[in-house]
Amino acid sequence: MPRYELAVILKAMQRPETAAALRRTVETLMERGAVVRGLENMGERLLPYRISKHNQRHSRGAYFLIDFYAAPNIGPSLLDHLDRDVDVVRPTLLKKDAEVSTKTCCGPAPAAKSLDAND
Protein backbone atom coordinates (compact mmCIF):
# COMPACT_ATOMS: atom_id res chain seq x y z
CA MET A 1 0.00 0.00 0.00
CA PRO A 2 1.38 3.44 -0.70
CA ARG A 3 2.36 5.65 2.17
CA TYR A 4 0.82 9.07 2.61
CA GLU A 5 1.36 12.04 4.86
CA LEU A 6 -1.41 14.37 5.93
CA ALA A 7 0.04 17.76 6.89
CA VAL A 8 -3.00 19.34 8.51
CA ILE A 9 -3.26 22.86 9.95
CA LEU A 10 -5.82 23.04 12.75
CA LYS A 11 -7.32 26.16 14.24
CA ALA A 12 -5.49 27.58 17.26
CA MET A 13 -7.69 26.10 20.00
CA GLN A 14 -7.48 24.89 23.56
CA ARG A 15 -5.94 21.52 24.22
CA PRO A 16 -9.09 19.39 24.66
CA GLU A 17 -10.63 20.77 21.48
CA THR A 18 -7.45 20.16 19.54
CA ALA A 19 -7.35 16.62 20.91
CA ALA A 20 -10.96 16.10 19.84
CA ALA A 21 -10.23 17.40 16.32
CA LEU A 22 -7.24 15.11 16.02
CA ARG A 23 -9.24 12.17 17.24
CA ARG A 24 -11.94 12.93 14.68
CA THR A 25 -9.41 13.12 11.89
CA VAL A 26 -7.69 9.87 12.81
CA GLU A 27 -11.02 8.12 13.14
CA THR A 28 -12.02 9.38 9.70
CA LEU A 29 -8.84 7.90 8.33
CA MET A 30 -9.40 4.60 10.03
CA GLU A 31 -12.99 4.43 8.77
CA ARG A 32 -11.64 4.63 5.22
CA GLY A 33 -9.35 1.72 5.89
CA ALA A 34 -6.07 3.50 6.56
CA VAL A 35 -3.38 2.23 8.92
CA VAL A 36 -2.05 5.19 10.90
CA ARG A 37 1.65 4.97 11.58
CA GLY A 38 2.33 8.01 13.66
CA LEU A 39 1.26 11.45 14.70
CA GLU A 40 3.62 14.40 15.06
CA ASN A 41 3.10 17.86 16.41
CA MET A 42 4.98 20.72 14.76
CA GLY A 43 3.75 23.21 17.33
CA GLU A 44 1.41 26.12 17.25
CA ARG A 45 2.93 28.87 15.15
CA LEU A 46 2.22 31.99 13.22
CA LEU A 47 0.86 31.19 9.81
CA PRO A 48 2.93 32.49 6.88
CA TYR A 49 -0.03 34.59 5.82
CA ARG A 50 -3.50 35.13 7.12
CA ILE A 51 -5.85 32.38 5.90
CA SER A 52 -9.61 32.81 5.66
CA LYS A 53 -11.60 29.59 6.03
CA HIS A 54 -15.16 28.81 7.15
CA ASN A 55 -15.90 32.53 7.57
CA GLN A 56 -12.96 33.07 9.92
CA ARG A 57 -9.62 34.79 9.56
CA HIS A 58 -6.75 32.83 11.10
CA SER A 59 -3.31 34.16 11.90
CA ARG A 60 -2.09 31.29 14.09
CA GLY A 61 -2.43 27.57 13.51
CA ALA A 62 -1.41 24.22 14.93
CA TYR A 63 0.56 22.08 12.49
CA PHE A 64 0.26 18.31 12.69
CA LEU A 65 1.71 15.53 10.59
CA ILE A 66 -0.11 12.22 10.29
CA ASP A 67 1.61 9.54 8.25
CA PHE A 68 -0.39 6.50 7.30
CA TYR A 69 -0.78 3.72 4.77
CA ALA A 70 -3.89 3.91 2.64
CA ALA A 71 -5.44 2.84 -0.64
CA PRO A 72 -4.93 5.34 -3.46
CA ASN A 73 -8.62 5.98 -4.02
CA ILE A 74 -9.39 7.70 -0.74
CA GLY A 75 -7.67 10.96 -1.73
CA PRO A 76 -10.52 13.08 -3.06
CA SER A 77 -13.14 11.92 -0.58
CA LEU A 78 -10.80 12.47 2.35
CA LEU A 79 -9.88 15.96 1.29
CA ASP A 80 -13.52 16.71 0.73
CA HIS A 81 -14.36 15.62 4.23
CA LEU A 82 -11.53 17.63 5.76
CA ASP A 83 -12.54 20.71 3.82
CA ARG A 84 -15.92 20.51 5.45
CA ASP A 85 -14.46 20.23 8.98
CA VAL A 86 -14.69 23.61 10.67
CA ASP A 87 -11.60 23.18 12.80
CA VAL A 88 -9.33 22.35 9.90
CA VAL A 89 -7.74 25.40 8.30
CA ARG A 90 -5.84 23.60 5.55
CA PRO A 91 -5.50 19.89 4.85
CA THR A 92 -2.64 18.76 2.62
CA LEU A 93 -2.25 15.18 1.47
CA LEU A 94 1.20 14.18 0.21
CA LYS A 95 2.75 10.94 -0.90
CA LYS A 96 5.81 9.76 0.96
CA ASP A 97 8.78 8.98 -1.30
CA ALA A 98 10.81 5.84 -0.88
CA GLU A 99 13.82 6.53 1.30
CA VAL A 100 16.97 7.47 -0.57
CA SER A 101 19.65 4.87 0.10
CA THR A 102 22.61 6.27 1.99
CA LYS A 103 25.14 4.21 0.00
CA THR A 104 27.28 6.38 -2.32
CA CYS A 105 26.89 4.82 -5.74
CA CYS A 106 28.41 7.55 -7.88
CA GLY A 107 30.11 10.90 -7.53
CA PRO A 108 32.54 12.08 -4.87
CA ALA A 109 31.94 11.27 -1.22
CA PRO A 110 29.76 13.88 0.54
CA ALA A 111 32.47 15.57 2.63
CA ALA A 112 32.75 19.36 3.11
CA LYS A 113 36.20 19.56 1.51
CA SER A 114 36.18 22.31 -1.08
CA LEU A 115 34.12 24.87 0.84
CA ASP A 116 37.07 26.44 2.69
CA ALA A 117 38.11 28.57 -0.28
CA ASN A 118 35.72 31.45 0.30
CA ASP A 119 35.91 31.47 4.08
Partner 1 sequence: MFQVISGRSVPAVRLLAPRAAVLVEAVRGRKSRNDPPAKSKEGRIKVPPPVDPVETVVLKERFTEYDLIMRALRLEFKEEMLRKRFEEETGSLAEERAKQEEEEHRSLMAWNQQENLRLLTLRQMRVQKEMEETELKKKEAVVQQEQAMQELIKEKEKEILQLQEEAKNFITLENLDQRIEEALDNPKNYNFAIDREGRVVRQTVLE
Cα 40 → chain centroid: 9
Instruction: Tell me whether residue 31 or residue 83 sits nearer to partner 1 (CB atom).
Output: 31
- Is 14 in a helix, a strand, or coil? coil
The CA distance from 44 to 22, in Å, is 14
Site for partner 1 in 99-118 (CB under 8 A): 112, 115-116, 118
What do you get for the CA distance between the two ends of the chain, in Å?
48
Tell me which residue of 68, 89, 51, 85 sits closest to 5, measured CA to CA: 68
Instruction: Tell me whether residue 106 or residue 116 sits nearer to partner 1 (CB atom).
Output: 116
Site for partner 1 in 13-72 (CB under 8 A): 15, 18-19, 22-23, 26-27, 30, 35-46, 64
Instruction: Tell me whether residue 30 or residue 94 sits nearer to partner 1 (CB atom).
Output: 30
Q: Which residues in this chain contact partner 1 in the complex, by CB under 8 A?
A: 15, 18-19, 22-23, 26-27, 30, 35-46, 64, 112, 115-116, 118-119
